Chain A
């Protein structure tokens, strides 16, 4: 088109381009149409690009990183749990799955914690507050290991029998576990929360910019439609033709492009939201439920190994249990009964909308999961988690009953069988929880993939459709302009 104009003799060209002549008006309207269609392409391209990069950040960057930070807390809690077990075993190296197994697992968790810390250090570059937190955890790890290995050495030297941790070893272990629970675990947990916050901020910014993109595409698309209709009407009036078919085609193309892109953006936003909420958020909440339960079950060993602080360890066991699954309970007996009730009633949940106004319902990490919408297979997996959780507490009841009756040997044996990595009640709970978590991890990966799949056709579709529309405009206008040559 522009080739025609440039090729025209300059003298007549000046006359033609005055707006009061018909060809000049056709030209002007055509330019408006082309600009609007090009603008539509640009805005759609930007919005689709934002949607794509939003999915990319969540699916391949911030999301997986956030999952990785929850590993740090789990690894640290597991280290302290294994150490408590080994001290409690004393000279009987064959209790449960044995001392060598516990020490191997301690070592594996230590390596995992190191790795997670290095990972966290690379993520927090540039944020001085978080960098200091990572550094503090690194320093604390060294101090923890010194206390822990000294406790182990002292206990071995004293040849402490099972269940009777040596006094000096206990002093050292108290320092270690105190350090773990006041310095290391809180900071590790908070780092995980920080990365969740980053995911949320990225996600919401992404969703907002895509929503703005939808508005822009809609607005520019409407402008392009208006321009095409105006051109159509002008040609119809001026040239007394019924319809300009190529222009009709271009109009239909713009309509399809606008509606198609807006619908796609909406769809990809929905997939992204599902990936985050049903996938990532749920998987991370469950990972926390696993990490806190790891610390909780180790309170059994601490309770048996440190009689002086037994009341405290029993209390924190209950407090951690209530973070995992909350039901109103003043003491462990009430809590055991409440957990039984939840496991039996599921998928119904006790307390919700019940007669008691003071009962807030079934809450905590597991309780809140149970209230959420269901993925396929989730109900069965969650039922299994609740059942294994119930069995874990049934073993806890036996353990404490034996301890109260003064049968320390039986209590220690129960404890070590709970932790037994082959068939213990705690590993069974972890396995069930992992299966449920995997469902959500898959939902996360699937949601991202669906979002990507919705966007993919536009990679080629957008330029092809835009060029087609522009070609149709040219086809529609060119014969009319030719009449003025």
Chain B
């Protein structure tokens, strides 16, 4: 896939007789110049990115990816979406197997050393999901001494234990879905991660669970781009601004999370900037 982009770009440059010159003259290569674009999205998170039985990827991130790629100048037939896991996002971007990642991908200082982030396109917050009938938990401090589940590789429990100094009994499940199962079965008392992800699970089973809606950290969902691709980053930022201005962002958030009681922010987030 990626190879095809490169050879196409090289062919174009050779055709212009400028391949060497344009690089010498400081024209940086960008995913914007390629014939097509491959975007990584989540495939196992209802609401944000989920692979359905029909083989279709659906969710908020998927819709955002379509909106952004269109504004970046790619018609729908030149956009390929692929499912990615949390762990492989950096590697796929660095190796060039995907050109862009829209996959509940939190912007962190550490990741910024390897990836250039457009956006954030949404600022989610860490929150708690509990069983609908558990009305005692209104606040993260109410978790003291209770059983808390987090997806493996996630940092969310540490934010509660180390960040806020609350003692909990921690369980690591292989995935968010497994945490949801454990919560339903009463094996744990709460699960914690970004509220957008929790709301996605809640929307599937609104009667079983409840979102506490008392968030305590910010998770800035960025659009991952190859490191140093400033042009694409600026184009993405402009597209995100338009997505909020023309009401698309509000509609999409409402469509995917409107029924969950989640407090949605429908104005454009503060961008990180393109280094």
Chain A residues within 8 Å of B, Cβ to Cβ: 129, 132-133, 136, 182-183, 185-187, 189-190, 193-194, 196-197, 200, 204, 207-208, 211-212, 215, 311-312, 315-316, 319, 322, 326, 328, 330-331, 358, 360-361, 363-364
Contact = CB atoms under 8 A, between A and B. Distances in A.
Interface residues of B, number: 36
Interface string B165-176: 100000000000
B158 A364 contact: no
A193 B271 contact: yes
B7 to A, nearest CB: 24
Nearest to B165: A331
Contacts of A330: 158-159, 162-163
Interface core residue of B26, B109, B165, B230 (most chain A CB under 10 Å) = B109
Contact of B216 (A136, A183, A207, A315): A315
Contacts of A185: 270
B140 interface: yes
B159 A187 contact: no
Contacts of A212: 25
Given A200-B230, A207-B26, A330-B163, A189 B271 contact: yes
A190 B274 CA distance: 11
A365 B99 CA distance: 27
A184 to B, nearest CB: 9
Given A193-B274, A204-B26, A326-B109, A215 B21 contact: yes
Contacts of B238: 129, 194
A182 B156 CA distance: 23
B63 to A, nearest CB: 20
B6 to A, nearest CB: 22
A311 B140 contact: yes
B109 A322 contact: yes
Contact of B109 (A182, A204, A207, A360): A360
Interface in B1-56: 21, 24-27
Contacts of B109: 322, 326, 360, 363-364
Dominant SS at the A interface? helix
Contact of A208 (B27, B112, B215, B273): B27
B242 interface: yes
Contact of B245 (A129, A196, A319, A364): A129
Given A129-B242, A322-B109, A364-B109, A193 B273 contact: yes
B113 interface: yes
A313 B244 CA distance: 26
A312 B25 CA distance: 48
Interface string B206-234: 00000000011110000000000010001
B216 A132 contact: no
Nearest to A311: B216
Nearest to A331: B163
Nearest to A188: B270
Nearest to A211: B25
A190 B270 contact: yes
Nearest to A334: B162
Contacts of B82: none
A358 B111 CA distance: 11
B27 A319 contact: no
Contacts of A193: 237, 271, 273-274
B216 A190 contact: no
16 contacts: A133-B241, A186-B268, A187-B268, A189-B270, A190-B271, A200-B230, A204-B26, A311-B164, A312-B216, A315-B218, A316-B218, A319-B217, A331-B162, A358-B110, A363-B113, A364-B109
Contact of A186 (B162, B164, B267): B267
A363 B112 contact: yes
Interface string B232-255: 001001100110010000000000
A129 B265 contact: no
A312 B162 CA distance: 15
B162 A196 contact: no
A342 to B, nearest CB: 14
A330 B245 CA distance: 35
